[in-house]
Structure 1
Amino acid sequence: MARFDSSPGKADSPNPADPANDGQPPGKTPGQPTGKSAGHRKRTLLIAGAGIVAVATAVLVPLTLGNPTAAPPAASETASASAPAPTPAEVGPPVTYYQQPGPPAGSPLEKVEPLKVDVSSDLVGTSLNKGMTGISLEATDLADPDLSGDNATMVKLLKEIDQPVLRFGGNSVDRRFFWTSTGEAVPADYKGDKTRPVKAVGPADLARLKTLLEAGDAKVSLTVDLGHYNPARAADFAKNASQILGDRLLSITVGNEPNGYVFNDVKTGSGYSIEQYVRELKDYANAIYAVAPNVPISGPGAYDQKWWQPFIDADIPQKKILSFHNYPLYSCDGSDPKASPTLANLMSPLMHDRAADYQKAAVKVGQAAGLETWLPETGIAACPGSNETSRTHASALWTADYSLNAAQLGITRIGFHSSLQTCKGGPPLSAICSAGAYPFGNGQMSGRANFFGLSMVAELESGKFMKLNSSGGGLVFSYALQNADGSTSVVIVNENDPEKAAQTDVTLNLPGKPVTGTMTQLSGPSYGAEDKTVIDGAKTEPTPVAKRATVPGFAYKSQAQQFKLTAGTVTVLNFKY
């Protein structure tokens, strides 16, 4: 797929058949069952830090985030006049409650069934690790001078998604990417155009990339050209990459989406078979192993699951990672209405379930072979140009849920395919983009709405997923993590329509009795809002855990917490016991 390699109105290849339907049973991942859970907000006041319940009126200092018109929660009632005056130790410091935005003024509010989430101390068996979320780019982007430690805007973005992996591959690697360690001229049969030029990449580009990886605390996964059969050149690329990038190089993949070669004329002639791919894969892997024996091989990087097992069965050295690609909304021509890139499809339980089914199929195959399972190239849609989902707040909600669900299922790396081209005119579903004139801009990079969805997940502490039961709440997905310090993080992705849905009453039952509870939140005014997604009221990463405001209505040492959540939000709650 990798459509971001193409100009807004043109794709490199016809859209493939639905990968999720290729041999995949029509099973459905359990969503959010419907149930009832009534309850009223507790009004016990937490004195943050000291962990003492106030017995007299405390001074509240509300944090000004989101909609300034949102009303703060009521304070606890003043103690009787006959009670003795509290000491400073009893009162403690003032509490700052989180102020989330409310629905837009004049909204025709639709009531949402109360949400009940019961978090168990039992574990799922999977973990969320640092570096799980990352960015996928075209292999030709390796030649871009903006990928440098001197580019402060790019470094900032990498730090905001906390130790990410930059993956280089995409459609360009088998078409317009030419590696040379000796300064050779690009062969004449390599063809490109104004927005997708042919690029030669050499050791100096890898050395420059290393400065970015070090400054942004990132790692990298590379792809070698299989479109132009040349194992020796690929091995030279791997050798130089291993020597220059060291332990920041995580893997090398042979070719990009080889299952698509037969559709897009990367391999001409009578077609391209799985058997031919396996033969060429062996040649490449053996050549790479001879000069870079410590570099893991990942593959097949295909969106057709028929190609997964042949890669696993291939007798190649350093086979460590099963990788696959997936774009859940694939029907660019509308032939499958349920898979067309529309907001209605994006914000639907079916979108969540279909993606989960395909991810579970990949994890099952990878785990059976003892391999890690990566999803190094993904995005909402495989379609070029703009559509209803492009640049929208809904894309941020989807990205957060998609990443968390993938991690909970057992996928250990995920990369959202993006571009270094301009925000105006460049690929609209890219998570990052450049300021300046189309197509290549000035290198001043910024994140779009889906990037902020990534950031919400990336800034979570490493933790083990906990089992939970959830009922009610409408279109909502919940996750819980047991952190290394014993605290619990709960993430609630509220995909109800922020223009129409009322706030959801939440009852959260925890496995312990918390003494503190804090929150951070991604929000936006509507599904279709562009450039309006914020985290804690600003276009930046979440507030650090130690500085976060208290959950509204927090009940000290109570396993049952009750609060409200605005629709169209991703909320991270952290409870310490």
Structure 2
Amino acid sequence: MRAAADDALPPTASLTLTATVNGQNAGLGDEFQGFSVESADFAHGFLTRERMAERLRTLGPHGVIRLGGYSMDLVWPAFGAWSDAPAPPQAIGGTVDQSDLNGLKQLLDDTGWRVTLGAPLKTVIDPSKIKNPARDPSPDVSLDQVVAEVAAAYETLGGDLLGVELGNEYDNVTTLTDAEMWETAKQYQAAIDRALPQARLKVIAPSANTAKTNTRLDGFVTAALADEATNPQQVLSELASHWYPWSHCGSSRVTIDQLMSPLTYTNTRSKLAGIMAVGDRLPGTIPMTLNESNSASCSGMPEVSNSYATSLWSLDYLLQAAQSGVDRLQFHTNTAAICGDFKPRDSADYPISYRYYGAFCAADQSALDANELSATPLYYGIWAFRQVPQGRFVDLDLADADLDKLRAYAVMGLNGTLTVVLINVQDPARAESAYDSVTLHLPSSYRTGQQVTLRSSAPEGFASLDAGRITLGGRTVTPAGTAAGTAQSTAVPVEHTSSTVTVAPGTAQIITFSH
């Protein structure tokens, strides 16, 4: 970490921001953030081990877990008439049975979180619609078998089951048209409704791939609106999208500079605006979610997705998505992997292997056996986001020309406090990186402010892979998943309706102003 010499002031960029209350801005609720977890992690019992509860509780008493991902079509649901049926060899994702649901119920009771359930798609639809049957062949799961799992899940979880998702990125693995996907959604929902009329469960779709455009989402909604016999609200509990701003698929690569660049921010802004524009076409209110997302698709980019840079990137991305009006953002993660132990795509262990963009991993096998999962840089960014209270976003006039220096957000809390988040996106390991001196013009008279800092003490700056050097307000997360250390905050002076805050390169300041 660069330190300024006593006789040489560090370079400083001066910025002025005016906070303006707008009652039409998006609200920030208590279930905005969650995780997307592979169905295989659930089937193998990794998600529901006691060690996970503490890691969720540290992030707060509310959140949503999405069970799904690539392995959604690779698990064997052993319920109803299929309870004692042996899993076929294609079920490399494992078997889901009642014991898994019981463990999930305990996890949700212990944490206050809720869940969405992923349902297999590939073997339910016309087999001629599968793009490449030889790739990732799926166990032969019927719609009746899917419904048996949903019925058992509802009986076990009740209202904590928010919806049933139809497959994973159908446009990558099938040739279903938009209209055919809409008809499939109706088919699933009708079958579930016949079996569980009292549950009023709906489906989650279309969960299309991570393209920068929203063509599939738009086409799916167009098909739904063309169906005059059915109201989309009768079928859908969420309109789901996926988004990875970068990729590590095939020969694709991403650098830290690219991840932290204004281009990532503006591309994401365009993606989010497109999602909300599609949602606006629907009658009534259907939640718009990013139910699978992270920094780079295909398991993340080594030395980028697991670097300190992702702490600041994820904090920025969560706030940007919430401000756009999206209802939920869920980061895809592993739940029982050894750090760096990545398995190749053709490995039977791939569905449960390490992901570079994961939120937690074990230092080695002995740590995993001892239920010790260390928090990664991503986890720290999410933890920082969870310090922002529920409320409504306030406008800040940050210019696009300053996005290479700063990201800025403000939320008016339900109790009238104003929380401002300032993120200096310049690498602290570079001598040319400048401190941001930010003068805030506040929307009303606040008497005091307190700031908490997210930072890393590692000399490598953004490139550091040592999450143990990261602190949030002086606190760290232990391998047991609990917060350790004494919470530290610094007073921020307020004069009339203005306050000036200095944000060091590679840090984020979370400032709460009170009357």
Q: TM class, shorter-chain normalised?
A: 0.7 to 0.9
Partner in structure 2 of residue 27 of structure 1: none
Task: Report the residue type matching 2:444 in the other structure.
Answer: G
Q: Which moved more, 1:324-333 or 1:235-244?
A: 324-333
Shift of 1:442: 5.0
Q: Which moved more, 1:274-283 or 1:297-306?
A: 274-283
Shift of 1:460: 1.5
For residue 429 of structure 1, give the secondary structure of its aligned residue in structure 2.
coil
- Measured in 1, the distance between the counterparts of 2:215 and 2:260 equals 29
Q: 1:495 aligns with which of 407, 414, 425?
A: 425
Asked if the contact 2:108/2:114 (under 8 Å) is kept, the reply is: yes
Q: Which moved more, 1:252-261 or 1:307-316?
A: 307-316
- Measured in 2, the distance between the counterparts of 1:575 and 1:334 equals 47
Asked if the contact 1:137/1:166 (under 8 Å) is kept, the reply is: yes
Partner in structure 2 of residue 567 of structure 1: 505
Q: Deviations over 1:446-471 (max 9, x none)?
A: 32101110111123210100112125
Asked if the contact 2:79/2:152 (under 8 Å) is kept, the reply is: no
Q: 1:428 aligned to 2:356?
A: yes
Partner in structure 1 of residue 52 of structure 2: 154
Q: 1:242 aligned to 2:154?
A: yes
More helix by share: 2
Task: Report the residue type matching 2:205 in the other structure.
Answer: G
Asked if the contact 2:476/2:483 (under 8 Å) is kept, the reply is: no
For residue 470 of structure 1, give the secondary structure of its aligned residue in structure 2.
coil
Task: Report the residue type matching 1:535 in the other structure.
Answer: L
- Measured in 1, the distance between the counterparts of 2:243 and 2:46 equals 28
Partner in structure 1 of residue 442 of structure 2: 510
Partner in structure 2 of residue 307 of structure 1: 216
Partner in structure 1 of residue 475 of structure 2: 538
- Measured in 2, the distance between the counterparts of 1:334 and 1:512 equals 52
Q: 1:111 aligned to 2:11?
A: yes
Shift of 1:543: 9.1
Change (3 A) 1:508 1:561: same
- Measured in 2, the distance between the counterparts of 1:252 and 1:446 equals 31
Q: 1:410 aligned to 2:316?
A: no
Q: Deviations over 1:133-189 (max 9, x none)?
A: 1111001222343434x62x4222101222111111000011234343452334435
For residue 513 of structure 2, give the secondary structure of its aligned residue in structure 1.
strand
Asked if the contact 2:333/2:357 (under 8 Å) is kept, the reply is: yes
Gaps of 5+ in 2: 125-141, 225-229, 342-353
- Measured in 1, the distance between the counterparts of 2:169 and 2:369 equals 29
Asked if the contact 2:13/2:435 (under 8 Å) is kept, the reply is: no
Change (3 A) 1:350 1:103: same
- Measured in 1, the distance between the counterparts of 2:44 and 2:386 equals 25
Shift of 1:123: 3.5
Change (3 A) 1:442 1:302: farther
TM-score by length of 2: 0.81
Q: 1:282 aligned to 2:186?
A: yes
Q: 1:396 aligned to 2:336?
A: no
Q: 1:319 aligns with which of 229, 236, 241?
A: 236
Structure with larger RCO (C-alpha < 8 A, sep 6+): 1
**Cα RMSD, aligned residues only:** 2.8
Asked if the contact 2:437/2:500 (under 8 Å) is kept, the reply is: yes
Shift of 1:432: 1.8
Asked if the contact 1:258/1:300 (under 8 Å) is kept, the reply is: yes
Q: 1:462 aligned to 2:377?
A: no
Partner in structure 1 of residue 408 of structure 2: 478
- Measured in 1, the distance between the counterparts of 2:146 and 2:368 equals 27
Task: Report the residue type matching 2:298 in the other structure.
Answer: C
Partner in structure 2 of residue 121 of structure 1: 21
TM-score by length of 1: 0.73
Gaps of 5+ in 1: 1-101, 193-197, 263-270
Matches within 5 A, 1:177-192: 177-181=76-80, 182-188=82-88, 190-192=90-92
Shift of 1:383: 3.0
| Identical positions, percent | 24
Q: 1:347 aligns with which of 256, 260, 263?
A: 260
Q: 1:382 aligned to 2:322?
A: no
Matches within 5 A, 1:13-412: 103-104=2-3, 111-148=11-48, 151=50, 153-162=51-60, 163-181=62-80, 182-188=82-88, 190-192=90-92, 198-229=93-124, 230-262=142-174, 271-292=175-196, 293-303=199-209, 305-312=214-221, 313-314=223-224, 315=230, 317-330=234-247, 332-333=249-250, 340-369=253-282, 370-384=285-299, 386-412=301-327
- Measured in 1, the distance between the counterparts of 2:46 and 2:371 equals 6
Shift of 1:277: 2.9
Q: Number of matched residues?
A: 454
Change (3 A) 1:448 1:216: same
Q: Deviations over 1:373-397 (max 9, x none)?
A: 0001000001346433131110111
Asked if the contact 1:423/1:435 (under 8 Å) is kept, the reply is: yes
- Measured in 2, the distance between the counterparts of 1:440 and 1:283 equals 42
For residue 149 of structure 2, give the secondary structure of its aligned residue in structure 1.
helix
For residue 200 of structure 1, give the secondary structure of its aligned residue in structure 2.
strand
Change (3 A) 1:333 1:187: closer
Shift of 1:535: 0.9
Asked if the contact 1:328/1:381 (under 8 Å) is kept, the reply is: yes
For residue 311 of structure 2, give the secondary structure of its aligned residue in structure 1.
helix
Matches within 5 A, 1:440-451: 443-451=371-379
Q: 1:551 aligned to 2:486?
A: no
Task: Report the residue type matching 1:488 in the other structure.
Answer: L
- Measured in 2, the distance between the counterparts of 1:296 and 1:548 equals 44
Task: Report the residue type matching 2:63 in the other structure.
Answer: P
Shift of 1:327: 0.8
For residue 404 of structure 1, give the secondary structure of its aligned residue in structure 2.
helix
Q: 1:529 aligned to 2:464?
A: yes
Change (3 A) 1:110 1:184: farther
Shift of 1:191: 4.8
Asked if the contact 1:118/1:509 (under 8 Å) is kept, the reply is: yes
Change (3 A) 1:413 1:145: same
Task: Report the residue type matching 1:467 in the other structure.
Answer: D
Change (3 A) 1:178 1:533: same
For residue 265 of structure 2, give the secondary structure of its aligned residue in structure 1.
helix
Shift of 1:116: 1.3
Shift of 1:548: 5.4
Task: Report the residue type matching 2:393 in the other structure.
Answer: F
- Measured in 2, the distance between the counterparts of 1:109 and 1:543 equals 35
Change (3 A) 1:368 1:560: same
Q: Deviations over 1:36-89 (max 9, x none)?
A: xxxxxxxxxxxxxxxxxxxxxxxxxxxxxxxxxxxxxxxxxxxxxxxxxxxxxx
- Measured in 1, the distance between the counterparts of 2:186 and 2:202 equals 14
Task: Report the residue type matching 2:384 in the other structure.
Answer: M
Shift of 1:275: 4.1
- Measured in 2, the distance between the counterparts of 1:542 and 1:232 equals 42
Partner in structure 2 of residue 17 of structure 1: none
Change (3 A) 1:488 1:406: same
- Measured in 1, the distance between the counterparts of 2:403 and 2:300 equals 34
Greater than 4 Å deviation, 4+ residue runs: 105-110, 438-442, 471-474, 541-544
Q: Deviations over 1:75-134 (max 9, x none)?
A: xxxxxxxxxxxxxxxxxxxxxxxxxxx844679986242121111123452011112111
Asked if the contact 2:79/2:97 (under 8 Å) is kept, the reply is: yes
Asked if the contact 1:133/1:161 (under 8 Å) is kept, the reply is: no
- Measured in 2, the distance between the counterparts of 1:542 and 1:559 equals 38
Change (3 A) 1:408 1:523: same
Shift of 1:550: 3.3
Shift of 1:334: 5.1
